[in-house]
């Protein structure tokens, strides 16, 4: 059954996700801060909205996927936020990667207006967003998840109820540790191969199905082998996520040495003006360090 959806945030992830919903026959209103990014979706039949408030108006479900915690608060609860036009009983689903506390706070503020809320961050990258193969990590009520399931099925392959509001974001933080440390392993392995006269592409192909293989080796290792450092997932964004991880770990008295090293490497990317490249640009940091120790 077609659902009415307000979609806020048409970046690398949001654009492809909104397109999938439109192509699945749902009635989607789209908002993006930089309005031009919405044009191809309007051409596919989406209703353009000038503000998050306008995107939410009259819609049963509102999905947001923007950058960081303050951005989510702004688009949902700010002056032109979706909260101001949403119908009582609407369901808001935030799919950005943000701090678990912000998700819980947003959930409480929305509940006070009779609006249900799920945090539902995703993993699976730009490829997963395009192909509808994301893993969706849901925090909030099970009934609310069931209300959203039809849409989640268009966007993702594995949908996991992680616990109450904020729990999706906590599981996503765990994922970001895995992504960051996996990237260190990929970069070290591909440099060892390259300097030994073995093509990185061969290593990616040979090792992806084995015990050391991973989604990241397959998708991002092959981008490194091609010299393609365009974002999928930007260095600046993983640095945001690793700060969320470290905040959570600090509160638990947990020391994350591997994550700290990954933050240093990505920090060197940022200092070299590479913050808007993909996370696979960590390869460049290790390359610059060769022979220096």
Please give the positions annotated as active site. Answer: 172
Number of residues near ligand NAP (by CB under 6 A): 26
6 part of the interface to ligand NAP, by CB under 6 A: no
9 part of the interface to ligand NAP, by CB under 6 A: yes
Candidate residues 81, 100, 107, 125; the one interacting with ligand NAP per rule CB under 6 A: 125
Residue-wise over 266-288: b if at least 16 C-beta within 10 A, else e?
bebbeeeebbebbbbbbbbbeee
Could you tell me whether strands 122-123 and 116-119 are parallel, antiparallel, or unpaired per DSSP bridges? unpaired
Candidate residues 85, 123, 135, 170; the one interacting with ligand NAP per rule CB under 6 A: 123
Which residue's structure tokens are 């945001």?
A: 240
Candidate residues 92, 233, 265, 266; the one interacting with ligand NAP per rule CB under 6 A: 233
Radius of gyration of the chain (CA): 20
For ligand NAP, the closer of residues 97 and 269 by Cβ is 97
CB 46 within 8 A of CB 94: no
Q: Least distance in Å: CB of 185 to ligand NAP?
A: 19
Q: Is 202 exposed, middle or buried (0-12, 13-18, 19+ CB in 10 A)?
A: exposed
Binding mask 47-86 for ligand NAP (x = CB under 6 A): ------------------xxx---x--xx-----------
What number of other Cβ atoms are within 10 A of residue 115's Cβ? 22
CB 61 within 8 A of CB 154: no
4 part of the interface to ligand NAP, by CB under 6 A: no
Q: Least distance in Å: CB of 131 to ligand NAP?
A: 13
37 part of the interface to ligand NAP, by CB under 6 A: yes
């Amino acid at each position: 059954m077609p659902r009415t959806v307000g979609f806020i945030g048409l970046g690398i992830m949001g654009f492809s996700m909104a397109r999938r919903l439109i192509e699945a026959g749902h009635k989607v209103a789209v908002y993006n801060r930089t309005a031009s990014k919405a044009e191809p979706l309007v051409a596919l039949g989406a209703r353009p909205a000038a503000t998050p408030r306008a995107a939410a108006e009259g819609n049963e479900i509102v999905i947001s996927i923007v950058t960081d915690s303050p951005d989510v608060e702004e688009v949902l609860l700010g002056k032109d936020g979706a909260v101001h036009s949403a119908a009582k009983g609407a369901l808001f689903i935030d799919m950005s990667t943000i701090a678990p506390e912000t998700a819980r706070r947003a959930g409480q503020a929305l509940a006070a207006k009779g609006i249900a809320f799920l945090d539902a961050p995703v993993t699976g990258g730009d490829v997963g967003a395009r192909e509808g193969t994301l893993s969706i990590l849901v925090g909030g009520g099970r009934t609310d998840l069931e209300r959203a399931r039809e849409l989640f099925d268009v966007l993702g392959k594995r949908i996991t109820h992680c616990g109450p509001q904020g729990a999706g974001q906590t599981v996503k933080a765990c994922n970001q540790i895995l992504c960051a440390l996996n990237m260190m392993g990929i970069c070290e392995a591909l440099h060892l191969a390259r300097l030994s006269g073995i093509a990185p592409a061969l290593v990616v192909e040979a090792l992806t199905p084995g015990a050391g293989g991973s989604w990241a080796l397959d998708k991002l290792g092959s981008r490194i082998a091609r010299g393609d450092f365009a974002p999928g997932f930007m260095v600046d964004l993983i640095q945001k996520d690793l700060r969320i991880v470290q905040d959570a770990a600090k509160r638990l008295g947990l020391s994350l040495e591997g994550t700290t090293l990954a933050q240093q490497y990505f920090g060197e990317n940022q200092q070299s003006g590479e913050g808007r490249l993909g996370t696979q640009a960590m390869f460049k940091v290790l390359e610059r360090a060769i022979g220096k120790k």
